[in-house]
Amino acid sequence: AQSVSQHNHHVILSEAASLELGCNYSYGGTVNLFWYVQYPGQHLQLLLKYFSGDPLVKGIKGFEAEFIKSKFSFNLRKPSVQWSDTAEYFCAATVYNAGNMLTFGGGTRLMVKP
Amino acid sequence: EAQVTQNPRYLITVTGKKLTVTCSQNMNHEYMSWYRQDPGLGLRQIYYSMNVEVTDKGDVPEGYKVSRKEKRNFPLILESPSPNQTSLYFCASSSRTSGRPYEQYFGPGTRLTVT
């Protein structure tokens, strides 16, 4: 079955530390990949997405992600986190032409200490 | 303003009492979906709709019903809620015609508690 895995469930960092959140998917075909962020008490917002082309994708708020096809990975990175990045982060994937079937990972809860 | 709205935002109910959570979008999107979010499990898709009168099951459809009579609305119906349906529910919509078919826009969420 198709799945998305996020291996870090909870991450605690100090401000200015670098961030990398892991995401692996199990799809065999052409995939579309997403990172969503959910700030406390708010709904999901799209951080960035990968459809095709340059595997290094830049999103909002200084986030980026790299699609590595050989590793089935789409890790999220940020060089220097801020307290305001405290949130839960979700990786998601869908197979091209699979309609609306978006599969989410279990989420990573990030806490940034001031 | 382009948005997905859900009502109610919070709901406490008792086992077996039928309820409906409404979802509406003003972006003329073809696709709409319902998800539930549970700790450690991320978001799991309940049902989705590719257009009016076209609905299909997601990963966890048991205990839920949906309908899509109008393009903008996609209500989620719990005919006989049970405590294991206590969760945070999100509605989402997306368009295929924009060239970005799978970018989904999420509603604010509905926190449901079934006692």
pLDDT in tens, A37-53: 999 888 889 999 998 88
pLDDT at A98: 55
Q: Are B105 and B4 in contact (CB under 8 A)?
A: yes
Residues from chain B contacting residue A46 (CB–CB below 8 Å): 103-104
Average pLDDT score over residue span A64-92: 95
Residues from chain A contacting residue B60 (CB–CB below 8 Å): none
Nearest-by-Cβ selection for A94 from B50, B59, B102? B102
Half-sphere exposure of B53 (CA within 13 A, CB side): 0
Please state whether beta strands A10-14 and A108-113 pair in parallel, antiparallel, or not at all (unpaired): parallel
Of B41, B90, B43, B83, nearest to B63 (Cα)?
B83
**What's the start-to-end Cα distance of chain A, in Å?**
41
pLDDT at B47: 94
Average pLDDT score over residue span A64-84: 95
Mean pLDDT by 10 residues, chain B (115 residues): 92 97 95 91 90 91 97 97 97 74 83 96
pLDDT at A43: 84
Subunit contact A106:B103, Cβ cutoff 8 A: no
**Whole-number percent of chain A with pLDDT over 90:** 68
Residue labelled with tokens 């509406």: B24
Nearest-by-Cβ selection for A44 from B48, B58, B90? B90
Partner B contacted by A1 (CB < 8 A): no
Subunit contact B103:A43, Cβ cutoff 8 A: no
Chain B positions with Cβ closer than 8 Å to A: 31-33, 35, 40-45, 48-50, 58-59, 90, 92, 94, 100, 102-104, 106-109
Question: Maximum Cα–Cα distance for chain B, whole Å?
Answer: 44
| Closest Cα in chain B, distance from residue A28 (Å) | 18
Subunit contact B45:A103, Cβ cutoff 8 A: yes
- For the cut 70, the answer to whether the pLDDT of residue A77 exceeds it is yes
pLDDT at B98: 54
Residues from chain A contacting residue B58 (CB–CB below 8 Å): 101
DSSP string, B73-89: B--EEESS--GGG-EEE
Q: What is residue B67's three-state secondary structure?
A: coil
DSSP string, chain A: ---EE---SEEEEETT--EEE--EE---S-EEEEEEEE-TTS--EEEEEE-SS-SEEE-GGG-EEEEEGGGTEEEEEESS--GGG-EEEEEEEEETT-TT--EE---EEEEEE-
- Cis previous bond, B8, omega within 30: yes
pLDDT at B90: 95
Of A107, A94, A114, nearest to A10 (Cα)?
A107
Q: Are B89 and B36 in contact (CB under 8 A)?
A: yes
pLDDT, greater one: A26 or B63: B63
